[in-house]
Amino acid sequence: MNSRRNFLQKLGVTALALQLAPIAGWADSLPNDHGADEGPVLRVAIMGLGSYGERVAEAMRSCKKAKLVGVVSGTPSKIKTWQSRYGIPAKNCYNYENFDAIKNNPDIDAVYVITPNGLHHDEVIRVAKAGKHAICEKPMAINAKEGQEMVDACKAAGVKLLVGYRMHFEPKTLEVIRMRKAGEFGKIKFFQGLCGFTIGDPTQWRLNKQLSGGGSMMDIGIYAINGSRYMTGEDPVWVTAQETKTDHIKFKEGIDETIQFQFGFPSGATASCLSTYAMNNLDRFFLDGTDGFAEMQPSTGYGPIMGRTHKGELNQPITTHQTVQMDEMAAIIFEGKQPVVPIDGDEAVKDLKLIDAIYRAAKTGEKVEVKL
């Protein structure tokens, strides 16, 4: 497998056609009423036309409140292909040299940045300066300092900054969160998050420090970090971490292969997590409380999320994560809707502060206190 996205795509029984299948009779329990055609439509340009950009574009075909209307790419052939496939007019197509002219285009409301991590900072700030709402893939930046600069730039420009936390709208995930808030697990004591796959092509950008900002922690690890927070309902106050590297050729200096990390929460609950580029079959969340538990496996993949609690199997319907995400983002931008779990830049900066602390703890071997 060459990437996290291939890994996630192949988890579960995951043909894209299955994911895009219509879901009937469940509108009332979705975070957003997908039967509603009223209100403005969020007109989106995608920046970065790689595999995940394609997945988002395909999912947006089913959106009711968001529409793909533009592209930004440094590859002319990709632009031409996308124009044909999605009916994108030439006036809404940009490259990285002329992109700033998007500020004069009234037919684009937001730009979804789906490029390597190391490029997010500058690109989101360019989006903000152009007066467009910014949507950014996670992790939002390569460290908390850059992330905060992105948040500040968007606030100064008066535009929204949202991050692609698609799991914040996933039905089984939301059911576990609901149960936890209702006290059905009792006092939360422990969370475990296992995220990993065996990475392939050694020349890909994810193994390039300048583009990725790190290794597995800057890729698959974000799921365990963010998941530990929404599953427990708390933010960590301390971090410990240990790094293991077995292949120093593929995983050069600054590119982590495997990191185990632990969190401590104000309530006394703890978390034990793993992020790796060297092991497959790792996509599992486990939450334990005094009165019950929740287990999700797969927990974050593109394919059907599966899970059970002490009360039985989770049977919420399968959704196309990116379709729901984009419709929800439209509601957040146009209607001021508040999601169950935030997806804004401030939420993303918290995860980046934890990534910074994990790297520091792994390097020093010390417990690192954090304040989010």
Q: Tell me which amino acid residue 247 is.
A: D
**Domain range enclosing 149:** 31-166
Q: Count of domains in the chain?
A: 2
Q: Say which CATH number the domain at 70 has.
A: 3.40.50.720
CA 24/CA 271 separation, integer angstroms: 37
Residue 26 included in any domain: no
Domain match, 206 and 306 both: yes
H/E/C letters for each residue in 1-31? CCCHHHHHHHCCCCCHHHHCCCCCCCHHHCC
Q: Look at residue 303 in the predicted model and tell me its pLDDT.
A: 87
The torsion angles phi and psi of 205, rounded to 5 degrees, stand at -65, -25
Residue 227 included in any domain: yes
Cβ pair 299, 284 in contact under 8 A: yes
pTM summary value = 0.91
Domain match, 209 and 91 both: no
What residue ranges of the chain have pLDDT lower than 70?
1-38
pLDDT tens digits for range 94-140: 999 999 999 999 999 999 999 999 999 999 999 999 999 999 999 99
Q: Say which CATH number the domain at 180 has.
A: 3.30.360.10
Q: Look at residue 6 in the predicted model and tell me its pLDDT.
A: 52
Cβ pair 82, 71 in contact under 8 A: yes
